[in-house]
């Protein structure tokens, strides 16, 4: 079996056209309890779009229209609140784009808006994404005063040549300064790094890791650079390390971080004890999340159904149409046929997997509907035989796409 590098799968994906899962006769789901709820807020603007990025990000049109954005966000949230009425929001993630482009005043208004309309836990994890090229000490201090208690910094690399190849607007000096500034005001810091970069060597990859470790932060996200469709890199691909070298980097990263006291708890996430991202863990455990802002996705459970929603991607279209309720681009009920695959798409990313009982708790379906697939995956050595957990083996994580694909079958139609 040829090795394949696990791709970064977006939370909220659905079954590709032409494929169906083998559970169409399983009946509709019935949930006995609702999962934890998170909130995602999308800020769509960047200084400049990176050539590898396929996220819903847009170059800022000069000055960001903060007042208009906040007014639209208020309307978006007001229309969504009835769907989650009475439920507690455990975590908030403000992503982008580059949320650190927002002024301190705008961020304070945003968090005030959330507190006034949601049952937000007093000690909720509130994460803000930031890029080093947009970091200001005074702004970060005010972000923290407004309630941000976790910052995720898009470092990507500490090598200036690599940063230039990736089209980043910051250099290695700014990356270091951003980390030091964030550490002054916020106790929990995540650093996003990438490997298998254009022209990168194994030594260069490990230098990035060692530099990141030198700051003593509690969480690292390690992403393999992939050429995503509809990006500049897809049209004009750079010279990347071959597959064997990329795997050597992946193995070396895991070994180096493990020796430094980090646990790999998800395919791309490493954390010191007590530093795991609660927000992302909720995604991977098939929890619920409301997504507001342009292009935001959400998954919400009810006792008799699970729905997925998406907002209009264009910031202008979203802001123009939200007052009239035309900002929802998709709202669909997740069928019983799709639920097992969607559950596994997330749960199998966790190194420790999930309790076997969580499948029924989160989907409302009997575990019997996937018993043949679980058995087959276990026989192939891709799933742990422990009957109390659904957990990929090391081999299963190596061939994660193959493992997830076992829960799909070609349509007979």
Q: Where residue 15 sits, what CATH number does that domain have?
A: 1.10.10
Cβ atoms of residues 46 and 102 within 8 Å: no
Which tokens go with 4?
């394949």
The secondary structure of 338-390 as a DSSP string is THHHHHHHHHTTBTT-EETHHHHHHH-S-GGGGHHHHHHHHHTTSB---TTEE
Spatial separation of the C-alpha atoms in residues 109 and 121, rounded to whole Å: 18
- 277-287 pLDDT, tens digit each: 999 999 999 99
Please say which residue of 283, 307, 326 terminates a domain. Answer: 283
What is the pTM (predicted TM-score) of this model?
0.91
C-alpha torsion sign, points 101, 215, 280, 86: negative
Q: Using CB atoms within 10 A of its CB, is residue 228 exposed (0-12), middle (13-18) or buried (19+)? A: middle
230, part of any domain:
yes
Residues 257 and 404 in one domain: no
- pLDDT above 90 as % of the chain: 87
Overall number of domains in the chain: 2
Answer for the pair 8, 226: CB distance below 8 angstroms, yes or no: yes
What SS3 state is found at 281?
helix
Indicate if 51 and 82 belong to the same structural domain.
yes
Task: Round to whole Å and give the CA distance between 201 and 244.
Answer: 12
Last residue of a domain, one of 283, 317, 348: 283
Which residues, at least 6 apart from 224, have a Cβ–Cβ distance to it below 8 Å? Answer: 5, 6, 8, 194, 195, 196, 246, 250
Whether residues 226 and 117 share a domain: the answer is: yes
Shared domain check, 161 and 93? yes
Per-chain mean pLDDT for the chain: 91
Give, for 211, the enclosing helix (H) or strand (E). Answer: helix 202-213
Whether residues 22 and 57 fall in one domain: no
Closest CA to 350 of 393, 387, 381, 388: 393
List CB contacts of 251: < 8 A, sequence separation 6 or more: none
Residues 94 and 129 both lie in one domain: yes
Domain assignment present for 299: no
Question: What is the pLDDT confidence band of residue 356, given thresholds at 50, 70 and 90?
Answer: very high
246/252 Cα distance (integer angstroms): 10
What is the residue whose two structure tokens read 């079954």? 15
Closest CA to 22 of 399, 368, 390: 368
Residue holding tokens 């006995």?
Answer: 32
Domain boundaries, position 376? 1-28+339-413
Considering the domain architecture, whether residues 190 and 212 belong to the same structural domain is answered as yes
Element (H, E) at 71: helix 66-80
pLDDT greater at residue 356 or residue 18? 356
Structural domain contains residue 78? yes
* Spatial CA neighbour of 116 closest among 78, 146, 64: 78
Same-domain check for residues 119 and 214: yes
Report pLDDT digits (tens) over 187-221. 999 999 999 999 999 999 999 999 999 999 999 99
Digit-coded pLDDT (tens) for 331-354 = 999 999 899 999 999 999 999 999
Q: What CATH number should be reported for the domain holding residue 252?
A: 3.20.20.70
- CB atoms closer than 10 angstroms to residue 33: 8
Please report, for residues 182, 191, 244, 291, 340, the alpha-carbon distance to residue 335 in angstroms, rounded to integers and kept in the order given.
43, 37, 39, 20, 10
Q: At what angle do helices 243-259 and 202-213 cross, to 10 degrees?
A: 30
Interval 145-194: pLDDT, tens: 999 999 999 999 999 999 999 999 999 999 999 999 999 999 999 999 99
- Are 345 and 264 members of one domain? no
| Pair 344, 257 in one domain | no
Q: What is the mean pLDDT of residues 366-375?
A: 95
Tell me if 322 is assigned to some domain.
no
Positive or negative, the CA dihedral 335, 338, 344, 347 is negative
Are 124 and 198 in the same domain?
yes
In degrees and rounded to multiples of 5, residue 136 shows phi and psi of -130, 135
41 and 23, same structural domain? Answer: no
Examine residue 288 and state whether it is found in any structural domain, yes or no: no
Domain end (from 238, 267, 283): 283
pLDDT class of 134 with cuts at 50, 70, 90? confident
For residue 113, what pLDDT band results from cuts at 50, 70 and 90? very high
Q: What's the number of CA atoms in the CB half-sphere (13 Å) around residue 197?
A: 27
Residue 128 lies in a domain: yes
392 within a domain of the structure (yes/no)? yes
Is 316 part of any domain?
Answer: no
């Amino acid at each position: 079996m040829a090795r394949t590098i696990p791709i970064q799968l977006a939370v909220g994906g659905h079954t590709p056209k032409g494929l169906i899962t083998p559970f169409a006769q399983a009946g509709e789901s019935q949930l006995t309890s609702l999962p934890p709820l998170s909130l995602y807020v999308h800020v769509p603007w960047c200084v400049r779009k990176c050539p590898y990025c396929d996220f819903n990000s847009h170059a800022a049109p000069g000055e960001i229209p903060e007042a208009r954005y906040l007014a639209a966000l208020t309307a978006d949230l007001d229309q969504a609140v009835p769907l989650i009425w009475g439920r507690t929001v455990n975590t908030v993630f403000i992503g982008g784009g580059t949320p650190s482009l927002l002024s301190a005043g705008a961020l304070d208004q945003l968090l005030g808006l959330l507190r006034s309309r949601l049952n937000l836990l007093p000690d909720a994890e509130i994460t803000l994404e930031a890029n080093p090229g947009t970091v200001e000490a005074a702004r970060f201090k005010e972000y923290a005063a407004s309630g941000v208690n976790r910052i995720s910094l898009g470092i990507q690399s500490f090598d200036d040549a690599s940063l230039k190849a990736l089209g980043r607007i910051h250099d290695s000096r700014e990356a270091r300064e951003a980390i030091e500034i964030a550490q002054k005001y916020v106790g929990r810091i995540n650093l996003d790094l990438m490997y298998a970069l254009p022209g990168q060597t194994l030594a260069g990859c490990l230098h990035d890791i060692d530099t990141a470790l030198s700051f003593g932060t509690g969480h690292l996200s390690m992403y393999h650079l992939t050429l995503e469709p509809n990006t500049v890199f897809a049209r004009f691909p750079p010279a990347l390390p071959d597959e064997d070298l990329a795997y050597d980097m992946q193995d070396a990263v895991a070994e180096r971080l493990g020796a430094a006291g980090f646990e790999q708890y998800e395919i791309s996430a490493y954390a010191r004890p007590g530093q795991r991202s609660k927000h992302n863990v909720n995604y991977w455990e098939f929890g619920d999340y409301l997504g507001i802002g342009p292009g935001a996705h959400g998954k919400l459970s009810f006792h008799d159904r699970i729905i997925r929603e998406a907002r209009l991607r264009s910031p202008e279209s979203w802001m123009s149409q939200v007052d009239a309720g035309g900002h929802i681009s998709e709202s669909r009920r997740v069928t019983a046929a799709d639920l097992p695959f969607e559950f596994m798409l997330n749960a199998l990313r966790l190194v420790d997997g999930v309790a076997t009982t969580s499948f029924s708790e989160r989907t409302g379906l009997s575990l019997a509907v996937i018993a043949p697939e679980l058995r087959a995956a276990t026989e192939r050595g891709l799933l742990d035989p422990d009957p109390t957990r659904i957990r990929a083996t090391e081999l299963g994580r190596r061939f994660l796409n193959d493992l997830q694909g076992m829960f799909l079958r070609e349509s007979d139609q």
